[in-house]
Amino acid sequence: MLSILREIAEAAGLETLKFYGQPLTVDAKADNSPLTQADLASHRLITSRLRATFPDIPVVSEEDQERDDAIAKASRFFLVDPVDGTKEFIKQTGSFTVNIGLIESGKPVAGIVHVPVSGVTYGADHDGGAWRAERDSAPVAIQCVPARKTLRIVASRDHAGPEVKALLARFPNAECLSIGSSLKFCLVAEGAADIYLRDVPTMEWDTAAAQAIVEFAGGAVLNHPSQAPLMYGKLEYRNGSLLTIGDTVLLGRLHN
């Protein structure tokens, strides 16, 4: 399945690039987040191909006009973010991704995060573990690393709340890495960062694919501050504050 999901995500990425750097019509959704032609083109390609290829697995996409919340009660379903980091797309930073995650019994069991501008794809499942692939290349295994003495903390360019600011104040010598979209999770998964704290709410399609990659790389994505594993199929597909770590030793350092 994962090779098929990679093909679909990369094809959707090509769709987004048709609009990248071009004059855009940017609409505002009900939550005031931006929506572009690229979001919709990617959404249409991914959902149509998933439903044709896996007709027995329901699909939930961020851009569904009428999202069926009953799907969240299914034992198995896809979560899709056609363009994660639409603000990055609009600003042309390149830090936007196409995300496809598979949920089974509330847990992410497979995920693809594709970066259209660079052509890099991250993936993970039970069979192959976590990996990173350059454009048209074979996957190379990735894994989280032991916590550094001087931490590398990754934070969102657009979504840094008070807990993130407090974390940075607690570790003033830490290196702060700023990047958009699901790439924040991927930095932890491939050992380039130690911690990603998100204290502004997200939706399940923002995190599903990337969580699979982090966990199969040996890290953890936890509810914050409870430290309970992040699960899926919640009411309205909404997440609370999240803590992503590459080394669970960090839990002690964060609370001492």
Binding residues for Mg(2+): 62, 81, 83-84, 206
Which residues have a Cβ under 8 Å from the Cβ of 91 and sit 6 or more positions away?
A: none
Q: Which residues are annotated as a binding site?
A: 62, 81, 83-86, 206
**Strands of the sheet with 152-155, listed across from one edge:** 175-178, 152-155, 195-198, 242-245, 220-223
- Other C-beta atoms closer than 10 Å to the C-beta of 52 total 8
**Is the CB of residue 137 less than 8 Å from the CB of residue 122?**
no
Q: Is 134 left (phi over 0), alpha (psi -120 to 50) or beta?
A: beta
Token reading at 128: 């192959």
Q: Which residues are annotated as a binding site for substrate?
A: 62, 83-86, 206
- Other C-beta atoms closer than 10 Å to the C-beta of 22 total 10
- Comparing CA positions, the residue from 157, 197, 202, 154 lying closest to residue 33 is 202
SS3 126: coil
